[in-house]
Amino acid sequence: MKELIEQLVSVVAQEAEHCERILALLRNQQRHLIEGNVDELRTSVAEQEKAMRRSRELEQRRQSLLDDLSHTPQFDGERPGLARLITTLSDDYARRLESLRTSMTHSIQQVIKTKEQNRMLIERSLYNINETIHLLASANVAVADYAASGAERAPAAVPLSVNRLG
């Protein structure tokens, strides 16, 4: 069982690292969105897709290890989660898993927040593009409005700022 626990700690540590990597990529994407750097944004999105695939692989490996642990006498066929492992294991493993779980939880919360901010930036950019098209094409021409998902939607009533000084 000790070998399974050590493998699990290693996999969870890798998962925590990947959460941090994904968060860093999302923050880079946010900067690229603000700066309008499309090429760097594409590169970052491709890197994020690779990191997400690796993260899913690690999660599957963690689940497999937890399944293996469920067949040990200590867990009697019941699949343990990290919380149960933390309360069951020796102090050293428990502290390490608790630290990793806390780190991952924080990173995941930050990923969700940053992802939402990026979504709002993209939607706002799409709105501004649509408004610019409306202004250039005149009010009599109907131009479709699109959400970040690509779905057509009704134009939102958001004020447009026009810089007439420069």
pLDDT string in tens for the chain (166-residue length): 788 889 999 999 999 999 999 999 999 999 999 998 989 999 999 999 999 999 999 999 999 999 998 888 888 778 888 888 888 888 888 899 999 999 999 999 999 999 999 999 999 888 888 888 877 765 544 456 666 677 776 655 544 455 555 4
Q: Are 26 and 118 within 8 A, CB to CB?
A: yes
Please tell me the pTM assigned to this model: 0.73
Q: Which residues form the domain of 17? A: 2-120
pLDDT value of position 143:
52
> How many other C-beta atoms are found inside a 10 Å radius of the C-beta of residue 87?
10
CB 8 within 8 A of CB 20: no
**11 Rama class: left (phi>0) / alpha (psi -120 to 50) / beta:** alpha
Q: Domain total for the chain?
A: 1
Specify if 76 maps to a domain: yes
Q: Give, for 123, the enclosing helix (H) or strand (E).
A: helix 91-137
For residue 156, is it within any domain? no
| Domain-embedded: residue 162 | no
Q: Is residue 35 part of a domain?
A: yes
Tell me whether residue 27 is in a domain: yes
